[in-house]
A = this chain, B = another copy of it.
Amino acid sequence: MDITDAPNIPSIFGEVLRDKRLALNISQEELAFRAGVDRTFVSRIERGLRQPTITSLIALSSALGISATELIKTTELRIKS
């Protein structure tokens, strides 16, 4: 399967973001505060309704204490699985 044919990349990324957030046991509000974005933005991303830019991807991963590389790597692995 060509990775770009993946069913729904935004939803898969949203799941990954949510899993990483829950692994830290923090709320969407806390993650949004740490990343300097609006809580509704985090909520929409996790539901696959919105996607982050590179800048917000880096802010969100930094807020999770991981690299954006790790966040994207987990997403790509889940897309291919």
A interface vs B, CB < 8 Å?
Answer: 2-4, 6, 9-10, 13, 36, 51-55, 57-59, 62, 67-69, 72-73, 75-76, 79
Contacts and interface: CB of A to CB of B under 8 A. Distances in A.
Contacts of A54: 9-10, 13, 51-52, 57, 72, 75
Contacts of A58: 3-4, 6, 9, 76, 79
A67 B76 contact: yes
A62 B10 contact: no
A57 B79 CA distance: 14
Contacts of A2: 62
A41 B3 CA distance: 21
